[in-house]
């Protein structure tokens, strides 16, 4: 099944484009409930670290000409965006949505439809998020680690975007919650093959998955592989995995991942929980059945209701 991110050109680094619109867009802003005072909030743009903003998210779906996809046109609106990024409206590039994920009432016959909801978004430039992920500063002396368990790798995954004045913007979308030690001795690609041979396989009816990025070595890095396990034809476990080299109290880490449960529409239409803990534990339990060990190490990032902040480290 084709990855959504590869729909146009097969380039795994192709990103969903997010632009900051500085125009009036009066009708759009009005329907989101943002008044004139918001447009006067210019700010100085000198804040450091990502911005947490209450936003109105508007998703419009329209049929494509190929009878296989709809296209998602998405906007997020908040006065905070104007202060930080130069305009109150963030507009995503149209994204293909497989037809099987669209509710039947909109496909017989095909017709456009809109979803609108409020959401709390954590957005910022690469530098903003790097600031948030870096270890706490010390007093200049060598840091002495006092905790018995630790994980020093990337903490989150991000959706990539572009904002006002063409600066890169990233939205935090999930935690890193599973990792494989060097003692397992497998790259992300080798993990995918190993797990596919042990019933971690996607169902043919599930739409493909887009890319998410980690911050590693000061750069944004897309997933190296997707690993899936069918639950039912409308649900699956899904892990985006990334090759890294980082430390933990359990083992040096070779691969990290964001494990979650996908609904059929990948939440492009709905708003189901991602079940981060359950997906992580599904992977850990299977690896233990394959004669490996695992343990929880606290990694932080507990803003999601279905994530307890722990990274499940799998090792020999």
- Global confidence as pTM: 0.81
Report pLDDT digits (tens) over 73-84: 888 899 998 888
Our CA angle for 59, 60, 63, nearest 5°, is 140
Which of 166-175, 180-189, 307-316 is the least confident region?
A: 166-175
Q: What would the DSSP string read from start to end of 239-260?
A: EEEEEEEE-BSSS-EEEEEEEE
C-alpha to C-alpha distance for 278 and 260, rounded to whole angstroms: 7
Report pLDDT digits (tens) over 162-171: 555 566 788 9
Count of residues making up the chain: 316
At 138, the pLDDT band (50, 70, 90 cuts) reads very low
Which of 29-38, 113-122, 220-229 is the least confident region?
A: 29-38
Residue 268 confidence (pLDDT) above 80: yes
Q: What pLDDT is stored for residue 202 in this prediction?
A: 79
Per-domain boundaries in the chain: 4-126, 148-154+173-315
Residue 224 confidence (pLDDT) above 80: yes
């Amino acid at each position: 099944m084709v990855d959504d991110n590869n729909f146009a050109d097969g380039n795994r680094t192709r990103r969903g484009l997010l632009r900051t619109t500085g125009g009036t867009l009066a009708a759009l802003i009005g329907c989101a409930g943002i008044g004139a005072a918001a447009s006067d909030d210019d700010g100085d743009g000198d804040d450091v670290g990502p911005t947490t903003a209450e936003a109105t998210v508007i998703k419009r779906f329209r049929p494509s000409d190929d009878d296989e996809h709809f296209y998602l046109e998405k906007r997020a609106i908040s006065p905070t965006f104007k202060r930080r990024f130069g305009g109150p409206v963030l507009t995503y590039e149209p994204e293909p949505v497989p037809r099987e994920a669209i509710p039947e009432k909109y496909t017989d016959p095909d017709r456009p439809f809109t979803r609108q909801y409020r959401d709390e978004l954590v957005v910022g430039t690469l530098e903003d998020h790097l600031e948030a992920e870096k270890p706490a500063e010390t007093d200049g002396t060598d840091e002495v680690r006092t905790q018995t368990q630790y994980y020093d790798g990337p903490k989150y995954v991000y959706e990539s975007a572009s904002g006002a004045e063409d600066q890169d913007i990233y939205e935090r979308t999930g935690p890193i919650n599973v990792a494989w030690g060097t003692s397992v001795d497998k790259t992300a690609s080798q993990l995918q093959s190993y797990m596919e041979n042990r019933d971690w396989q996607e169902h043919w009816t599930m739409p493909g998955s887009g890319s998410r990025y980690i911050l590693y070595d000061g750069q944004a890095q897309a997933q190296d592989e997707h690993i899936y396990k069918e639950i039912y034809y409308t649900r699956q476990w899904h892990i985006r995995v990334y090759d890294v080299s980082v430390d933990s109290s359990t083992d040096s880490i070779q691969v990290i991942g964001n494990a979650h449960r996908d609904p059929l529409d990948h939440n492009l239409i709905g708003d189901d929980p991602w079940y981060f803990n359950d997906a992580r534990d599904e992977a850990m339990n299977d690896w233990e059945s394959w004669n490996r060990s695992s343990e929880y190490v606290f990694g932080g990032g507990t803003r999601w209701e279905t994530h307890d902040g722990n990274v499940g480290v799998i090792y020999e």
